Amino acid sequence: MISVFGSDIGPREIEAVAAVMRSQWVGFGRAVDQFEQAFTARLGLPAFAMVDSGSNALFLAIRLLDLPPGSEVIVPSFTWVSCAQAVLLAGHRPVFCDVDPVTMNIRREDVEACRSPRTTAVMVVHYAGLPVEIDPILDLGLPVVEDAAHAVDARHRGRACGGIGDVGIYSFDAVKNLTAGEGGGITARDPARIERARRLRYCGIGKSGFEAAAAGTGDRRWWEYDIAEAFIKMLPTNIAAAMAGVQLERLAELQERRRAVWELYDREFDGLAAVIRPPRAAQGDRHGLFTYCIRARDRDRLARRLLEQGIYTTLRYHPLHLNALYGQTGRRLPNCERLNDEALSLPLHPRLTLDEAARVAAAVRGFYAG
């Protein structure tokens, strides 16, 4: 089976994880610090903290904004469920908006179409890794959470995606461009927010008594600590951070392999009327190359035919407003609904060979020729 997703774990990742295991310090520790420093420097972020998943990073991001209870957060419908769950679980209401049918990204006009007096924030998602035109959205004056789960290597007008809005998140799950097995991270324009995030990710624990006792200050016993806020635990492990550290060093190489597949597909589908290729990044921007999402005529039959030929494709993602849970099934978001009928992610990952990609392209062309 040729899979739509995959990772490339090599001997260096294996050795880095083995070294953590040999050290017996497998939980949160030095490897996390090292990864955080390397990631911050590589992307040019003001501050960055690793957590145990991108989904939890989103939940943390919403918490960091301190929005009034029950207020509305605008979220594109064409995204992964965690974007909405983060809002809902933090005690707010996700209000789904449409996206551009070509870029598949949220636009300022989509935000304006569902802004209400209760709107307190906007979530933008760099879908597939294509940078969102974010400045016009920032100009609306609402806090912006930037989901860069697909965009770890993407840049927009000289800035790293994720680091442009008020708070930004990354995902390092098993199929992302940079994997830690499971993992995520959070950044913010104001570094004080990341200081707070460091407390929150450890059940909201602030100063530990150990630090005070070690410093010889106060009359605290070392097992006592201040609990600054109530929050859940989302600490990353040294195991995950060690793997992520090597993947970060290899990111350019991993992205190059994705780019070679992307360019092969672009060439193969040039002039094929039944397939609309994903857009390229704007001049001067860099695409994150997470998923090669085409819009295809007769999409369902194409996907089924590919599956019969051993090629696994998928739709990322079933529009959220169509899920009964959120009580918004009565709303019409025509572009998201159109993408729900036409969009299809083709295999793209760093272990996919060019021969396999050529087989995928030939199968797509064959479907329309037949």
Tokens 């190489």 belong to 253
Contact between residue 65 and residue 142 where contact means Cβ atoms under 8 Å apart: no
What letter would DSSP give residue 27?
S
Binding region for ligand PLP (CB under 6 A) out of 54-62, 132-140, 157-165, 199-207:
54-62
Nearer to ligand PLP, 53 or 103 (CB): 53
Size of the site for ligand PLP (CB under 6 A): 15
Query: Is 128 among the residues that bind ligand PLP (CB under 6 A)?
Result: no
247 binds ligand PLP (CB under 6 A): no
Question: Which neighbouring-strand residues pair with 168?
Answer: 146, 187
Region binding ligand PLP by CB under 6 A among candidate stretches 74-82, 88-96, 156-164, 292-300: 74-82
> Segment near ligand PLP (CB under 6 A), from 50-58, 129-137, 202-210, 246-254?
50-58
Please report whether residue 80 would count as binding ligand PLP according to CB under 6 A. Answer: yes
Taking CB under 6 A as the rule, does residue 82 contact ligand PLP? Answer: yes
Query: ω into residue 317 within 30 of 0, thus cis?
Result: yes
What is the three-class DSSP state of 237?
A: coil
Rounded to the nearest whole angstrom, what is the least distance from the CB of residue 244 to ligand PLP in the complex? 12
- Residue number, 53 or 105, with CB nearest to ligand PLP: 53
User: How open is the CA angle 282-286-287, to the nearest 5 degrees?
Assistant: 90
CB of 291 to ligand PLP, least distance (A): 9
Does position 144 interact with ligand PLP (CB under 6 A)? The reply is no
Name all contacts of 193-197 with Cβ < 8 Å and 24+ positions apart. 193/47, 193/64, 193/167, 194/46, 194/47, 194/48, 194/49, 195/47, 196/64, 197/49, 197/51, 197/60, 197/64
Binding ligand PLP (rule: CB under 6 A), the pick from 98, 153, 173, 268 is 173
Nearest approach, Cβ of 19 to ligand PLP (angstroms)?
24
Smallest gap from Cβ 124 to ligand PLP, in A, equals: 10
| Helical ranges in the chain per DSSP H | 11-23, 30-43, 54-64, 81-89, 108-114, 135-138, 191-200, 209-215, 238-249, 251-269, 299-308, 334-342, 354-369
Per the DSSP assignment, residues forming a β-bridge with 186 are 49, 169
Part in contact with ligand PLP (CB under 6 A); list of ranges 23-31, 66-74, 80-88, 113-121: 80-88
Specify the stretch interacting with ligand PLP by CB under 6 A; choose among 144-152, 217-225, 255-263, 361-369.
Answer: 144-152
